[in-house]
Structure 1
Amino acid sequence: MTVPLMRIQLDSDRLTARRVVELHRAGKTHRESRDAARAEVWRRGRTPAAEPVFVGVTNGEPVRLIYDVEVYRDVTS
C-alpha cells in the first residue's frame, strides 16, 4: 500500500527561499519551514507519516517554498 503525498506551499520571501535552497543543496534542513509544512498538514486535518521533503520554490510573487509530505490514509470504520 502506498502512502499518499500532500503538496504544501508556504509563502516566503526571496532571501529565505535562497537560504532554504542553499541548505537543501548542502544536505541540511531549514527547520522553521519544515516545521511550518508539518503544521500545515495538521491544519488541513491530516496526519503526517514522515518528515516533509523540500521540493523547490516557485518563481511567482510571493515566492513559495514547496514541500511534499507523506500522510496517513484516512481510515473509516
Structure 2
Amino acid sequence: MPLLRVHLDSDRVTARRILQLHQEGKTHHESREAARDAVWRQGRTPAGEPVFVGITNGRRNVQLLYDVEVYSDTAP
C-alpha cells in the first residue's frame, strides 16, 4: 500500500512536546487524528494508523510529519 506523507503545522514548543511523547513510546492523539483528517481531505482513504516520523527544523514554521498508509484504489 502506498504511503502518504502528511505535514501538520505546529509551533516549536508543541512540536518538541509531541516529539518527546513519541520518544517515550506514547501517542499524541490529537495530532494523529489531524493527520488522518488531512488524508481524508486529500480524497484518500487511510488504510492504517498514522505513524509519527518527526518534526521539521523550521525556526518559525515547524511541522509535524506523519506517514499514513492509504488504499491505492482511492482517488487522489
Matches within 5 A, 1:1-77: 3-60=1-58, 61-74=60-73
- TM-score, normalised to structure 1, is 0.91
Which runs of 4 or more aligned residues in structure 1 lie more than 6 Å from their structure 2 counterparts after TM superposition?
none
Distance 2:32 2:14 in 1: 13
Please report the RMSD computed on the Cα atoms of aligned residues, expressed in angstroms.
Answer: 1.3
Shift of residue 71, structure 1, vs aligned partner = 0.3
Identical positions, percent: 68
- TM-score, normalised to structure 2, is 0.92
Shift of residue 74, structure 1, vs aligned partner = 1.6
What count of residue pairs does the alignment treat as equivalent?
74
Q: 1:26 to 1:42 in 2, by over 3 A?
A: same
Residue deviations 1:16-39 (CA, integer Å, cap 9, x gap): 101111110110100110000000
Unpaired runs of 5+ residues, structure 2, are none
Is contact 2:2-2:69 (8 Å) kept?
Answer: yes
Distance 1:57 1:11 in 2: 10
